[in-house]
A and B are shown apart, each in its own frame.
Chain A
Amino acid sequence: MVRYLRRRIGRPTRFFFLIAITGVVMIWPTPDKYRVVPLLASGLAFLWCILFFLEDLGRGPRDEIPGKEGKAAGDAVFAPPPHR
Chain B
Amino acid sequence: MTTGLVITIFVALAFDFVNGFHDAANSIATVVATRVLTPVQAVAWAAFFNFIAFAIFGTAVAATIAKDVVDPKSLTIAVVFAGLIGAIAWDLITWWLGLPSSSSHALVGGMAGAAVAHGGWLTLLPEGFRKIGVFIVLSPVVGLLLGFTLLTILLWAFHKTTVKQLLNKVFRRVQLLSAAAFSLGHGSNDSQKTMGVILALLIAAGLLPPEADVPLWVVLSAHFAIALGTALGGWRIVHTMGSRLTRLQPMSGASAETAAAITLFFTAAHGIPVSTTHTITGAIVGVGTAQRLTAVRWGIAGRVVWAWVLTIPGSFIIAFLAYLPFRWFAT
Contact = CB atoms under 8 A, between A and B. Distances in A.
Given A22-B141, A23-B141, A15 B293 contact: yes
Interface string B68-101: 0000000000000000000000000000000000
Contacts of B272: 34
Secondary structure type dominating chain B contacts: helix
A11 B294 CA distance: 10
A34 B145 contact: no
A26 B148 contact: no
Contacts, number: 48
B19 to A, nearest CB: 24
Interface string A56-81: 00000000000001000000000000
A29 interface: yes
Given A22-B141, A23-B141, A41-B141, A29 B294 contact: no
B289 A31 contact: no
A32 to B, nearest CB: 11
Contacts of B294: 69
A45 B138 CA distance: 13
A37 B146 CA distance: 12
Interface string A7-23: 00001100100010011
B314 to A, nearest CB: 23
Secondary structure type dominating chain A contacts: helix
Contacts of A29: 130, 133-134
A41 B145 contact: yes
Given A11-B293, A15-B293, A34-B272, A45 B145 contact: yes
A69 B295 CA distance: 12
A11 to B, nearest CB: 5
Interface in B125-149: 127, 130-131, 133-135, 137-138, 141-142, 144-145, 148-149
Interface in B142-181: 142, 144-145, 148-149
Interface residues of B, number: 20
Contacts of B289: 12, 15
Given A11-B293, A44-B149, A48-B148, A34 B134 contact: yes
Contact of B134 (A19, A31, A44, A45): A31
Interface in A28-50: 29-31, 33-34, 37-38, 41, 44-45, 48
Contact of A41 (B131, B142, B293): B142
Given A12-B293, A19-B145, A37 B127 contact: no
A6 to B, nearest CB: 15
Given A19-B144, A44-B149, A30 B138 contact: yes
A37 B142 CA distance: 8
Interface of B: 127, 130-131, 133-135, 137-138, 141-142, 144-145, 148-149, 266, 270, 272, 289, 293-294
17 contacts: A11-B293, A12-B289, A15-B289, A15-B293, A19-B141, A26-B137, A26-B138, A29-B130, A29-B133, A31-B127, A31-B131, A33-B270, A34-B272, A37-B266, A38-B134, A41-B138, A48-B145
